[in-house]
Structure 1
Amino acid sequence: MATGKKSANTGIPTHYECSLHGLLANDHEPQLRTRLEALCGDTESAHHELHHEISCIPCVETPVGPHRREDHMLRLRIELDPKDPLNSNKATSNICLLGHPEPRSGRGASVRPAIFAQVFSGNAPQFLSLLGYKHNFEFVRKGYWFLYRNTFKVIVSQINRLERQGDVQSAQLIDPQASWIVQITADALNQEQVPRTCEQLEEVKALFDDYVELVVVDHAYLENRIPYS
């Protein structure tokens, strides 16, 4: 059964994800990690990042027309134990709905609404199938993350494709140069908090200027549209 914490006013667990992204060359990663350890604590402050993410789309395609815009892609994010990745009892699953990003160019960060519902028991992929969704694509994200000022999550990771569907052990790096993706995210609990959260992200961004260029991703790349063929 999938459930999520409901907000007091709307009953919908929606928040706004504010983020910046950058691409880091493999040989610069140790310097960035040292910087993060200095800002966030010692080496024990780092948390392992091992996520298997599965994108799902509706089994039945909505006919061409205005109602097609109401179709959404759902993501199943499975957080695995790096020391025992095949043990499903140690995995945590969340169904994610990422809304369309704000197209406003004046923001200092990418902003999009997000809803998360944790799957506490049962078979999460089967649950999505019962909701009328099917497998679209998947990938594995490996790396680590730090929490800065208990607010800003700094994720340093590499994206892997799966040679065999559903087989995490078949993961292979997508980028032959083994580059790292750096992502800083902060959550705004409502729209009123978004401007201040974006301003704070710009301030945090300056702490990493000597290591990686963090930018606002073009909203077109973050659109949550269904890739109907």
Structure 2
Amino acid sequence: MAELAELGDPRSREINERHGDDHAVNLGNLRALAKRLKTQQDLARELWATGDSAARLLSLLICRPKSFDRDELDTMLRQARTPKVQDWLVNYVVKKHPAVEELRLAWFADPDPVVASAGWALTTERVTKRPEGLDLPALLDIIEARMKDAPDRLQWAMNHCLAQIGIDHPAQRSRAMDIGERLEVLKDYPTPPGCTSPYAPIWITELVRRQLPDKSR
């Protein structure tokens, strides 16, 4: 914890706070520390228990994902209230766990929008990598009905799912585009030069274009 405190820097805190995070450690420095520590499950649990966001991020880098049980991961997600901690927990730990599908289904239907956003993130992973068994039209029904008024983090996760359905599933692309155009979610989101807008119709169009063969070759 003392070493993490020494790594803290005001500039990093300022940048992180813009994204809803509350720690002051540069993520590159955090990864370097994790590389030195290597996997240490007991230490990972101790770091998580501190409640400190930087410590929890470090915990997720040095833990052994399959050593957590299903209920432990559910509790951890409900404790992970900042975007980066939740994102790393879902991507670095939950996705590697045998109970990932069980957790996806439970979180997807959770009344807490922050928890539900994790369920949508895992659903988006399935849309892209393992769509067999998913009812894509039903997912689009939910997005169409709820995304416009969803809280920010849940709205972002649902919008990502909408875009990936349009990108990865041509049969659903026209409807996904239509939903995005009518709801106009993130249409005016400030997008840096060289980056793709998160507005679903632009996102879908650009990613599909990149997938098409270059006719000049």
Smaller-chain TM-score range? under 0.3
> Normalized against structure 1, the TM-score is what?
0.22
More strand by share: 1
More helix by share: 2
> Normalized against structure 2, the TM-score is what?
0.23
